[in-house]
Copies of this chain bind each other. A is one copy, B any other.
């Protein structure tokens, strides 16, 4: 492996830490993506997975904040909403979405949380030839990732968002957040209310599709034949929804694009683009 990045033997007492929190955590792709980025940018840093259950998030976050060589925290299911409580500041996307997937330690010691799921998803859409500006979008799921995708789509200039979620409290909460910033562009409903008429892009942001026996998150037959179908699920790489959409001739956008596109955003958020001024490259 001539192109192998520096190995664990390159981890030393000076190495800066990043973690990714999840439950489960075995499926996360962040270690591969971020450690490759650290190697490419010659950072003396490493990202490791941390498996933490919902009841233990507070203790773990407190412990992490007291680790002086920890610079960043990535967050995946089911912690994206709860983790906002442990940040001192929320960035604009986290503020609107009410969920975060990345936290960084600022130079003054405060922690800033922001959410790059939505921006990563929109990047991924554009990279696949689907500019969302002016379109009508149907989105299933108003959880941590769903609301981040919703806010980013509205920021990207979609004309109308139809948001579906089985939990009425969650629906109303998200509607209130989005209405405040983008009045008149959002409608919400239960799954049974799904309206595919005139939809340009349909998105799954629910967990449905992770397991082989899950039902589809929405009925493809209700969508126009030209409607693009996107899923944010990464495992399996192609969900039953995307397979059915592809079989029906509709363009599809896979879940991996949301995360792949986020690496560039993390590079900016964690200030990894600038050459490092201290670390293992110095004597």
Number of A interface residues, CB 8 Å?
49
What 1/0 flags go to A21-53 for Cβ under 8 Å of B? 010111111011001101100000011111111
**Known contacts A8-B35, A12-B32; is A51 also within 8 Å of B26 by CB?**
no
B-contacting 9-mer, from A59-67, A180-188, A236-244 = A59-67
A175 within 8 A of B: no
A11 within 8 A of B: yes
A275 within 8 A of B: no
Question: Which residues of B are found within 8 Å of A277, using beta-carbon distances?
Answer: none
**Of B5, B32, B46, the contact of A46 (CB 8 Å cutoff):** B46
Q: Oligomeric state, in number of copies? A: 2
Interface of chain A: mostly helix, strand, loop or mixed: mixed
Question: Which residues of B are found within 8 Å of A22, using beta-carbon distances?
Answer: 13
**Of B13, B26, B28, B38, the contact of A25 (CB 8 Å cutoff):** B13
A7 within 8 A of B: yes
| Beta-carbon contact of B46 and A11 below 8 Å | yes
A58 to B233 Cα, complex, angstroms: 38
| Beta-carbon contact of A9 and B32 below 8 Å | yes
| Beta-carbon contact of A66 and B52 below 8 Å | yes
A135 within 8 A of B: no
| Beta-carbon contact of A35 and B13 below 8 Å | no
